[in-house]
Amino acid sequence: MNCSACGKPNSDGVSFCEFCGANLRSGSTSGAPQVVRPAQPAPPSGAEVAQMGKSFLNALSPGEKFIGAGVVAGVLGFFLPFISVSVPDKAGAVVGLLLGFLGQTAGTDATHASISLFDITKLLGVVYFVLLLAIGSGVLFYFSKKATTPHKLLIGGFQVVIGSLYGPLTILALLFVPGMGSVAGIGYWLLGLGFCAIAAGGLITIATLGKTAR
């Protein structure tokens, strides 16, 4: 017998559907009311998730892609090794002082030390400002999706300011400060490149919207 509610086959003689609980007794007006359980939605497959991600990326403008990548890089870089040095060969006075305060929390051993900006916040809480900048850029990125063109231009300007506060100086230090490249960890690179990407994304957005407005 097929259930009139869900259409699934049931064993002969049953009064209620074995799948949805509907009343199968023809003409019955008594007993439990028919219960129709909504079908549970199937979880998306891996291919569907990949397609949704691809569609999301395709919907982003070039400037938004730069900003989004920069936000992710900036947040990750805050928690990854910022300084990675051999001890005591490359540890200067400042690094040695940091190791003295952070030796119990940073990733250290007898010959090597890795310190993230998150570790440094235990000594200098103001370092959280770097993380807040990256998160603030992400919040602006979210609100810019539904903003009008004038507001998008304004948000693009803020993105340029946020990226310029940290990114260019970090990259310049890597390029021109002697020995900086040898002690900079992956977090240092991600932060510098991430904030530069945020600034570049803001500039690209402003340039693109400026052409459209004309």
Shared domain check, 96 and 32:
no
**% residues pLDDT > 90 (the chain):** 35
Please check whether residues 14 and 74 belong to one and the same domain: no
Pair 75, 135: CB distance under 8 Å: yes
Q: For residue 146, tell me if it sits in a domain.
A: yes
Number of domains in the chain: 2
Please report which residue ranges of the chain form alpha helices under DSSP H: 46-59, 62-79, 93-102, 117-120, 128-144, 149-176, 180-183, 186-213
Do 20 and 87 share a domain, yes or no?
no
Q: By residue range, what is the domain housing residue 15?
A: 1-36
**Token output for 59:** 């919907």
The pLDDT of 189-214, averaged and rounded, is: 89
Give SS3 for 167: helix
pLDDT band at 182 (very low <50, low <70, confident <90, very high): confident
β-sheet with 107-108: strand ranges across: 81-86, 112-116, 107-108
pTM for the full model? 0.69
Per-residue pLDDT tens digits for 33-68: 555 566 667 777 777 777 787 787 888 889 999 999
Residue 167: which of 186, 148, 151, 189 has the closest Cα? 189
Confidence grade of residue 181 (pLDDT, cut at 50, 70, 90): confident
Do residue 30 and residue 96 come from a single domain?
A: no
Average pLDDT over residues 159-170: 93
72 plus 25 within the same structural domain: no
CA distance 203 to 210: 10
What is the pLDDT averaged over residues 182-206?
A: 93
